Structure 1
């Protein structure tokens, strides 16, 4: 008899090396792992290291600004070499400096205070050790952080997200132009409807996305530097004669930001919520496009150009899966979940300050990264599409009943013009076409028996589902 414990013994996994211990560079998240190459440019603007570099930039420029403005008695005029040396603290910030800053923070347990001490260490070498108290002068951490985040977000949008969006939009516009005259059956409520052109339907998305892009391009990035509760209290205590609001405005604008004159301890983040709402709206429109393209692929309107060496399915060799558009859909959804959460969280703060924004803002890069990844995949997907004009044409030829709209509308016009026997045009076409297929011969027979004017009958006789596209091609060229 077998030992009774044998069957009950739990399955024991073999002892494994903890990957986090063996390979610290292996990422927990997809953006820093599998998709790192697509989103790497964002690291230079929205990573923790980038945030610290922006903090150094703000602190150094504030130091230089205070000296230039001579707000305190005894402040020297900085030499060009000293100004250059101070700014090199920022420009030379790399791996060794990151490690040093991390070591300081391990002692201070405060990230912004660590930046202050990091700068102070370098003043002696510039002959400025007596000005150590000027580093972080009259500032609260949020004075530095809000400006640092604004710089990072501004540059990430301008240098990474917008270029990716424009590249995707250029590819989409090219498709709209190329397919401007390709007639296609529309489907409203999923049912055959008045024909359009493929290019015109793509141009609708181009037009919508361009409008959102203009909003994002015009976005203001706000900043403040007004102290612990937004009152300039410490500033005035130290230098009551100075015009601190004007001095602060000049500083913020020198950084290339828009000055926010009235805040609590924190900059209110309303501009961020505006930006994320616009980006999320752009994402949602793009998501709709990806769903439509996926659907057109599924019914054969688009053929996917196989990539040499690529596998479509692990078991079905014939397949070329629309993975670029599926990947884009998923990443747009993740991006929007984060953008929506940030937009709703960041506009609220308990009384003068709480730290929910501090935790929230550390996810800005992730939110934007998933959008950039989606844009990259969509751009690649568009390059792998070929319009299957013969499939689209066959679909049109199988749906002559869609000309019923044209016929009944012409009948209405004829009735208004006084042509007899044009009563009940809609009802007569409904009886002919509702719930049934009508071929070209039957439709022609119906038209010739209506008693239309020769001009109207001639126009309808020449009409086919493929030519009943109105101004679709013109609209595609104009707006696509």
Structure 2
């Protein structure tokens, strides 16, 4: 039995509620809406300045055109679908749609100003710039900010919670849970700033970036100045030197930074997953949820596992986009045309991961007793403190101990020692009484250095 038509991508099926907001910016319909916007703005720009001999446009007519473009909806989507079936060219279909609207408004005299001197890429590069910019800043970035905010809150909450660190998977100098979470918040805040600062570029210089048609048709105009004004008027930064296409370097910069953020988030997901496995975090049961189909006791860390997989897919796509888009054979090829249609897919998987991380971070609780037990079971981590104090005593001339590192290595490497053994060892050292008292007062739970204060550096 044949199924009725179904979404092929899980982003358009199972996960649509979590990522659907991207469709407002990165769907085919959103791209066509942006194209109509650019075409209308160019027509009005020409008419208001008399470029190419274009008749003047009344302010009311310009406002009406812009209102129509902003209201782009199902009627225009259907119109374009039918027209493109004939033209086999998406941008040409948009041009015909604008011409049709001009006729509807009685502005036929302006028809030949539609798309005048433009190559399709003049319209496309600006449209993609607008849609990608808005998708990132209005949908993806707020989701990242929510995760950063949740991390910052957890860091503050657990600022003073001592925790055994694990370097190379082995017990290491203690830290605090808050400080370790703050590390991720700080890393993500830094890369978020870089993403927000990426310059979104646009070109508008004709078939090979030379303004050739512009100059022949209207030789008295200062086309570079006008192009810069037009691009800036759309809220973009003008790229003055291009081939037929805008070189997409800004997109590569953006996608690489988003991929970088994803790698940091992936690191977060694997660390939290590991802390859950170690019992440092417990998972808060969700009413009615099932962890395992056969083991009723389980609460699987599915949020973090889902985030991992989607971040890996997103990173692969984003890195591929960044690598592909910066290359175009000679003055133009169409590899970018197909590639850019997957921007929404890449950001969709990243957004889905952010949603899972945000939810997952709200479904875990700290297990202080488990953290305390691990600290109390690993007194040997104080060996670092003891040998460092001995070195300082030797440097100060209050001790003559040779190779303190070796002495502590002999005591603790491969051996479990407790408070009593370390106290006895310290009492037998040739160091000052003040140093002995300072060392014997230490516990693994208090040997956290400036971790609480460092937590305060988190955003």
Which among 173, 177, 186 is matched to residue 152 of structure 2? 173
The two structures have a TM-score, normalised by structure 2, of 0.99
- 1:60 is aligned to 2:40: yes
- 1:313 is aligned to 2:295: no
CA shift for structure 1 position 91: 2.0
Query: Secondary structure of 1:187's partner?
Result: strand
Equivalent pair of 2:55/2:110 in contact (CA under 8 Å)? no
Counterparts of 2:142 and 2:288, CA distance in 1? 30
Counterparts of 1:132 and 1:81, CA distance in 2? 17
Q: What is the Cα-based RMSD across aligned positions, in Å?
A: 0.9
Which among 97, 110, 123 is matched to residue 118 of structure 1? 97
Aligned 1:460-475 pairs, distance under 5 A: 460-475=439-454
Counterparts of 1:64 and 1:88, CA distance in 2? 13
Counterparts of 1:105 and 1:88, CA distance in 2? 24
Aligned 1:407-426 pairs, distance under 5 A: 407-426=386-405
Deviations 1:211-240 (A, max 9, x none): 100000111110011000000000011000
Counterparts of 1:202 and 1:163, CA distance in 2? 20
- 1:402 is aligned to 2:367: no
- 1:436 is aligned to 2:415: yes
Deviations 1:127-152 (A, max 9, x none): 21021111000000000000000000
Equivalent residue number for residue 22 of structure 2:
42
Counterparts of 1:110 and 1:428, CA distance in 2? 78
Equivalent pair of 2:47/2:55 in contact (CA under 8 Å)? yes
State which drifts further: 357-366 or 444-453.
444-453
Query: Secondary structure of 2:353's partner?
Result: helix
Query: Secondary structure of 2:51's partner?
Result: coil
CA shift for structure 1 position 477: 1.9
Counterparts of 1:322 and 1:158, CA distance in 2? 29
Unpaired runs of 5+ residues, structure 2, are: none
Equivalent residue number for residue 52 of structure 2:
72
How many equivalent pairs are there? 459
Counterparts of 1:417 and 1:92, CA distance in 2? 78
State which drifts further: 79-88 or 374-383.
79-88
CA shift for structure 1 position 422: 2.1
CA shift for structure 1 position 478: 2.4
Equivalent pair of 2:55/2:109 in contact (CA under 8 Å)? no
CA shift for structure 1 position 123: 0.8
Deviations 1:182-224 (A, max 9, x none): 1111111111111111111111111111110000011111001
Counterparts of 1:83 and 1:126, CA distance in 2? 10
The two structures have a TM-score, normalised by structure 1, of 0.94
Aligned 1:238-387 pairs, distance under 5 A: 238-387=217-366
Equivalent pair of 1:89/1:119 in contact (CA under 8 Å)? no
Equivalent pair of 1:421/1:450 in contact (CA under 8 Å)? no
CA shift for structure 1 position 421: 4.1
Query: Secondary structure of 1:72's partner?
Result: helix
Which among 113, 120, 133 is matched to residue 141 of structure 1? 120
Unpaired runs of 5+ residues, structure 1, are: 1-15
State which drifts further: 447-456 or 466-475.
447-456
Equivalent pair of 1:56/1:89 in contact (CA under 8 Å)? no
Equivalent residue number for residue 192 of structure 1:
171
Counterparts of 2:409 and 2:88, CA distance in 1? 76
